[in-house]
Structure 1
Amino acid sequence: MGAAVVVSNEEPTRAQINRWRRYLANERAEAALYRELARRKTGEEREILLALADSESRHEEFWRGKLGEYVGFPRQPDLGTRFMGFLAKRFGSVFTLALMQSAEARSPYIKDEDAPEQIAADERIHAEVVRGLAARGREKMSGGFRAAVFGANDGLVSNLALVVGVMGSGVSSNMILLTGVSGLLAGALSMAAGEYVSVTSQRELLEASTPHPKAHTLLPSLDVNANELALVYRARGMSEKEAQSKAQAEFSRMALEQAIGLDREDSPGEQETWTDPGEVVGSPWTAAGSSFLFFAGGAFIPIIPFLFGASPVLGAVIAMVLVSCALMFTGGVVGVLSGKPPFSRAMRQLAIGLGAAAITYLLGVAFGTVIG
């Protein structure tokens, strides 16, 4: 049910009218945003998004009724709402829902005495619904995309710190460029090798833990009375009682299959479907190649000015500006993917990157002074 409009004999103030009109515009835009996202979905997700759109439309009608004759001409929603609408039209739901999760949680209705408690509660529940939908989207996103963001960020920070640190020691531009290229190659190769070993080790561990696909064919040869099959189930984590029960059920099924002449190879009984380790962790060569490329891409940015012959000081300043922009972008993306405000995450990423560069610069100056 929609929130009831409380009729008051008092004339609303100009501030109230402006605020209510803004709420009306935002609710209308949010309803349209959810419908746009629903248009690209099917099944349960589509139904949930359409239900959210209907709820926002009810809120829209509440503010329209509260404004009455002061409703005025339709106005533009807030910049943030318009930006999310742009994302919904151009890029789909993953980034939009992640931003909507934060926006719904920061609803202004919570502290506004003019907003009914029911609408404020609706918005809080919307935040939880969107959180669930956003989590689905994050799970569907390939791990390669996240790895690309983090790999590029590692390349940015490490090579900027290396370039600035070497510059602090007082070497020439050519030496800085040589050091930067060396850092790019060494870091990218190290990341690729580490990723290859990591993924390969994961695959081997999963393969060692996956039951043998033909183990079920041994059942006809087992001693029913000894019931060693129960040991298999207990080793997989079942309690003794559960293991005994499942083993007995399996032997009963086997006896029935033998009675009707069903070939054990074709039996659907104990043939469990196990996920291929390759499907879980991916290809080690793909992981290694992605790590190499994205780390190298990030590490390439700090050396760009030195490729064009910039002096050490000018090159370092340009490199810091370029890397700062890239760090803010990667930090913002990480913030969106984690459901956190992207601006604060962008600033945090920038502070970490520039902090690392400042420390290595001071160490470079100290080292240059010592050997000088």
Structure 2
Amino acid sequence: MIKERRSTRSSAVFNPGMESFMQNTEYVSPEFARQLILDELFDLSLYKRFREISGPELHPTLDELIKVESGHLGFWQELFNVEISELNFARRLKLEMIVLVCRLFGAPAIDLILEAIEVYGIRKYLTLWKQNKDNPMGKAVQGILKDEFEHEDVIVGRLKDRIINPDRIRNIFLGLNDGMVEILGAVAGFFASFGQNALVLLAGLTTAVAGSLSMAAGAYVAVSSENEVRRTQEEKARFLEGGTGEEPRTEPAIRSAAIVGVSYFIGASFPLLPVIFGAHTALWSILTAGTIIILVSMALAFLSGMDVKRRALTNLVIITVAAGVTYLIGMMVRNLLGIEI
């Protein structure tokens, strides 16, 4: 059951060290305080927009999230004596992009984004607490951390009948990412070795098909093994409970294999598109795949609660290294081994 959230003013009474912190804020820079408040304002604004575009089945959950987030916003504004009522341009743009996606895909997208925001919020507050647990700031955030765990985690967890599986969506993005990175590297190496569009296309398609089948087979084996372990554990639990309890639940291995294989092949197709349309160098494949990889990285980072910039930068480094190394290998094969096509 959801507990009634304490008001902002009562939080100072129930949270040890709160009053001393409110009188001594040298632990927090004005810019940090502003960013923290803007984060809460963004979440609150997003929940309100979700309520406007969602169906009545999500309204009770969103109403409670709005209530909790309003308390969070008031908490930080009173704590830092700073009131912000409007989002900055970057956050407004992010808000509108998320709302657009949710308008297009409906309740499944809202469900997934709510989980992503929950993960991000918990990680943010845990990091803040760990960095300041030995000073008044750490004591001050204890109350809102408990609020994050006890309220938002339970509220979002009420979405029992999920239209989509968040783990499955993350696997799709990971498959897309793997396919793009691996085939981009292959295309770069093939261009360096062969230098002919038709041969690069043939080799690239062959590699993409082989890679997607390999990924699908790997996913099938992994899920099958996981299902066996889960089935054994649940049957053991049912035996110890005297035959009562739920029937073992497993993820269909064939469906998981198909999702991974197809998503990999779709990702692999992006570096091949410029080749299909007649590109004679790896440059266009790098530009095309690089752009898509950045977008996929941003989506994957958001869904996983990771730092978006760090994830995008990591993938840019990976594709740069992959394309560079495979291109050099292709040049070595062509020049040092005397292959002429």
Q: TM-score range by the shorter chain?
A: 0.5 to 0.7
Of 280, 284, 305, which residue of structure 1 is paired with 2:250? 280
Of 273, 284, 288, which residue of structure 2 is paired with 1:304? 273
1:337 corresponding residue in structure 2: 303
In structure 2, relative to structure 1, the CA distance for the partners of 1:118 and 1:194 (3 Å cut) is: closer
* Number of equivalences: 294
In structure 2, relative to structure 1, the CA distance for the partners of 1:120 and 1:35 (3 Å cut) is: farther
CA distance in 2, matches of 1:201, 1:24: 46
In structure 2, relative to structure 1, the CA distance for the partners of 1:51 and 1:88 (3 Å cut) is: farther
1:184, distance to aligned residue in structure 2 (A)? 1.0
1:291, distance to aligned residue in structure 2 (A)? 1.6
1:164 aligned onto 2:188: yes
CA distance in 1, matches of 2:148, 2:116: 15
CA distance in 2, matches of 1:295, 1:280: 23
Q: TM-score, normalised by structure 1?
A: 0.62
In structure 2, relative to structure 1, the CA distance for the partners of 1:118 and 1:292 (3 Å cut) is: closer
Tell which deviates more after alignment, 344-353 or 334-343: 334-343
CA distance in 2, matches of 1:56, 1:295: 41
1:143, distance to aligned residue in structure 2 (A)? 2.5
1:294 aligned onto 2:263: yes
CA distance in 1, matches of 2:230, 2:278: 51
CA distance in 2, matches of 1:84, 1:105: 24
2:106 corresponding residue in structure 1: none
Which 5+ residue runs of structure 2 have no aligned equivalent? 1-7, 13-18, 24-29, 103-108
1:271 aligned onto 2:243: yes
CA distance in 1, matches of 2:88, 2:320: 33
In structure 2, relative to structure 1, the CA distance for the partners of 1:358 and 1:130 (3 Å cut) is: farther
Of 70, 75, 80, which residue of structure 2 is paired with 1:53? 70
Of 321, 327, 330, which residue of structure 2 is paired with 1:361? 327
1:195 corresponding residue in structure 2: 219
In structure 2, relative to structure 1, the CA distance for the partners of 1:32 and 1:287 (3 Å cut) is: closer
Which 5+ residue runs of structure 1 have no aligned equivalent? 9-15, 212-235, 238-242, 247-268
1:150, distance to aligned residue in structure 2 (A)? 1.1
1:52, distance to aligned residue in structure 2 (A)? 3.3
CA contact (8 A) 1:157 1:356 kept: yes
1:77 corresponding residue in structure 2: 87
In structure 2, relative to structure 1, the CA distance for the partners of 1:134 and 1:354 (3 Å cut) is: farther
1:184 corresponding residue in structure 2: 208
In structure 2, relative to structure 1, the CA distance for the partners of 1:41 and 1:302 (3 Å cut) is: same
1:165, distance to aligned residue in structure 2 (A)? 0.8
1:256 corresponding residue in structure 2: none
Deviations 1:99-123 (A, max 9, x none): 545666788xx99xxx999876666
Amino acid at match of 1:199: V
1:94 aligned onto 2:115: yes
CA contact (8 A) 1:52 1:126 kept: no
CA distance in 2, matches of 1:171, 1:134: 57
**Cα RMSD after superposing both structures:** 4.5
In structure 2, relative to structure 1, the CA distance for the partners of 1:101 and 1:53 (3 Å cut) is: same
CA contact (8 A) 1:97 1:133 kept: no
Tell which deviates more after alignment, 285-294 or 295-304: 285-294
Within 5 Å, give how 1:1-372 maps onto structure 2: 1-2=8-9, 31-33=44-46, 40=58, 42=60, 47=64, 50-60=67-77, 76-83=86-93, 85-86=95-96, 87=98, 90=102, 91-92=109-110, 93-101=114-122, 132=153, 141-207=165-231, 211=235, 270-276=242-248, 279-282=249-252, 284-311=253-280, 313=281, 316-372=282-338
